[in-house]
Amino acid sequence: MTPKFKNLLEAQAYFHSEEVCRQHLEQSRWGGNPVCPYCGINKAPYRLKDGKRYRCSDKDCKKTFSITTGTIFENTNIPLQKWYLAIYLASAHKKGISSLQLHRDIGVTQKTAWFLLHRIREMLSENAPIILEGIVEIDETYVGGKEGNKHQSEHAKAKRAKQRAGKGTQGRSTEKTMVLGLVQRDGKLIHKVIPSATGAEIFPIIEKHVKKGSDMVTDEFKIYRRLKSLGYGHETVSHIYNEYVRGQWHSNTIEGAFGLLKRGIIGIYHSVSPKHLHRYCDEFSYRYNTRKTTDAERFNHAITQAVAKRLTYKRLIQK
Residues 103 and 164 in one domain: no
**Residue 282, in any domain of the structure:** no
pLDDT tens, residue by residue, 86-132:
999 999 999 999 999 999 999 999 999 999 999 999 999 988 889 99
Predicted TM-score of the model (pTM): 0.87
Strand partners, 210: 132
The reply to whether 142 and 240 lie within a common domain is yes
Question: Does a structural domain hold residue 253?
Answer: yes
Q: Is residue 224 part of a domain?
A: yes
Examine the domain organization and report whether 143 and 217 are in the same domain.
yes
Same-domain status, 109 and 141: no
Label residue 18 by pLDDT band (50, 70, 90): very high
Q: Are residues 49 and 88 in the same domain?
A: yes
Residues 42 and 157 in one domain: no
Domain holding 163, by residue range, is 135-274
Closest to 307 in 3D by CA, of 75, 56, 68, 86: 68
214 & 248 share domain:
yes
CATH number at residue 143: 3.30.420
> How confident is the model at residue 163, as a pLDDT?
58
The answer to whether residues 68 and 106 belong to one domain is yes
> Distance between CA 287 and CA 250 in Å, rounded?
23
For residue 286, tell me if it sits in a domain: no
In a domain, 3, yes or no: no
Has residue 175 got a pLDDT over 50?
Answer: yes
Are 161 and 196 part of one and the same domain? yes
Q: Model confidence at 154, in pLDDT bands (50, 70, 90)?
A: low
Residue 301 has pLDDT above 90, yes or no: yes
Report yes or no on 75 lying in a domain. Answer: yes
pLDDT of 43-83, one tens digit each?
A: 778 888 888 899 998 888 999 999 999 999 998 999 999 99
In whole angstroms, give the CA distance from residue 162 to residue 169. Answer: 8
Total domains in the chain come to 2
Q: Are residues 53 and 108 in the same domain?
A: yes
Confirm whether 267 is domain-assigned: yes
pLDDT 10s digits, 194-239: 999 999 999 999 999 999 999 999 999 999 999 999 999 999 998 8
Is 165 found in the same domain as 113?
no
